[in-house]
A and B are shown apart, each in its own frame.
Chain A
Amino acid sequence: EDQVTQSPEALRLQEGESSSLNCSYTVSGLRGLFWYRQDPGKGPEFLFTLYSAGEEKEKERLKATLTKKESFLHITAPKPEDSATYLCAVQDRVRGSRLTFGEGTQLTVNP
């Protein structure tokens, strides 16, 4: 069974204070690892897909990286509008299209 563990559960940063969120996973053949952002009362918003170890993707202040056991979401010089819950999910080659999500990291960026 696929497992996804995210840490920390919650993170408070000052504006401009860079940090990283962790996503550890166990999967029977990784098909893809996905990062989503979720604001309160809204559905998850797609950020990145990573397919193989060593891959990196960037979008504005966010950079996602992938190894064989974990993924990191690096946030550089965050702003208050980056405050949200960040969700990590995996898709495996055996069960195909379903996503298995972690519990998320709640990020708060103070001005």
Chain B
Amino acid sequence: GAGVSQTPSNKVTEKGKYVELRCDPISGHTALYWYRQSLGQGPEFLIYFQGTGAADDSGLPNDRFFAVRPEGSVSTLKIQRTERGDSAVYLCASSRPTSGLYNEQFFGPGTRLTVL
């Protein structure tokens, strides 16, 4: 069975540019999450989708960050006017519906973003 996939695996961009990171969740998982992980740190929550809508976007650091999930499956994290401080590994996770137990989050391999 396929796990969570993320593309690209690596992205190098210049300060000020726009980037899009893609996440393809496990089939049948209605919940999707984005986290950001800096070197030597644990993942930090960014945003959570239940279906097509963002149920919790309180972790997005500022309005340069935006995420969509138009059909309730694939999600795209969009970063405008990138800054060097945005450099990190961006992780996507998915889970079954979160209303009950057994809602473990399964992570993809991440996209390593480097802003020069």
Say yes or no for B98: interface residue by CB 8 A criterion.
yes
CB-based nearest B residue for A89: B42
**Which residues 58-111 in A have Cβ within 8 Å of B in the complex?**
87, 89, 95-104
What is the predominant secondary structure among interface residues of chain A facing chain B? loop
Q: Indicate which residue in A32, A42, A87 contacts B42 across the interface (CB closer than 8 Å).
A: A87
Give chain A residues whose Cβ lies under 8 Å from the Cβ of B33: 97-99
Give chain A residues whose Cβ lies under 8 Å from the Cβ of B104: 34, 46, 49
Query: Contact between B56 and A43 (Cβ–Cβ < 8 Å)?
Result: no
CB-based nearest B residue for A100: B45
Give chain B residues whose Cβ lies under 8 Å from the Cβ of A34: 104-105
Query: Contact between B105 and A103 (Cβ–Cβ < 8 Å)?
Result: no
Say yes or no for B12: interface residue by CB 8 A criterion.
no
Query: Contact between B107 and A97 (Cβ–Cβ < 8 Å)?
Result: no
Say yes or no for B2: interface residue by CB 8 A criterion.
no
CB-based nearest B residue for A104: B42
User: B41-55 toward A: CB 8 Å interface, digit per residue (1/0)?
Assistant: 111110010100001
B32 smallest CB distance to A (angstroms) = 10
Say yes or no for A16: interface residue by CB 8 A criterion.
no
Query: Contact between B105 and A46 (Cβ–Cβ < 8 Å)?
Result: yes
CB-based nearest A residue for B59: A98
Give chain A residues whose Cβ lies under 8 Å from the Cβ of B66: none
Query: Contact between A103 and B56 (Cβ–Cβ < 8 Å)?
Result: no
Query: Contact between A102 and B42 (Cβ–Cβ < 8 Å)?
Result: yes
Can you give 15 A-B contacts (C-beta < 8 A)? A32-B103, A42-B109, A43-B4, A43-B91, A46-B104, A46-B105, A46-B107, A49-B101, A89-B42, A89-B43, A97-B50, A98-B33, A99-B45, A101-B44, A102-B42
Q: Which residues of A contact B (CB under 8 A)?
A: 4, 32, 34, 36, 41-46, 49, 51, 87, 89, 95-104
Given contacts A46-B104, A102-B42, 15 further A-B pairs with CB under 8 A are A4-B42, A43-B108, A43-B110, A44-B107, A49-B101, A87-B42, A87-B43, A95-B56, A96-B48, A96-B56, A96-B98, A97-B95, A98-B45, A99-B105, A103-B42
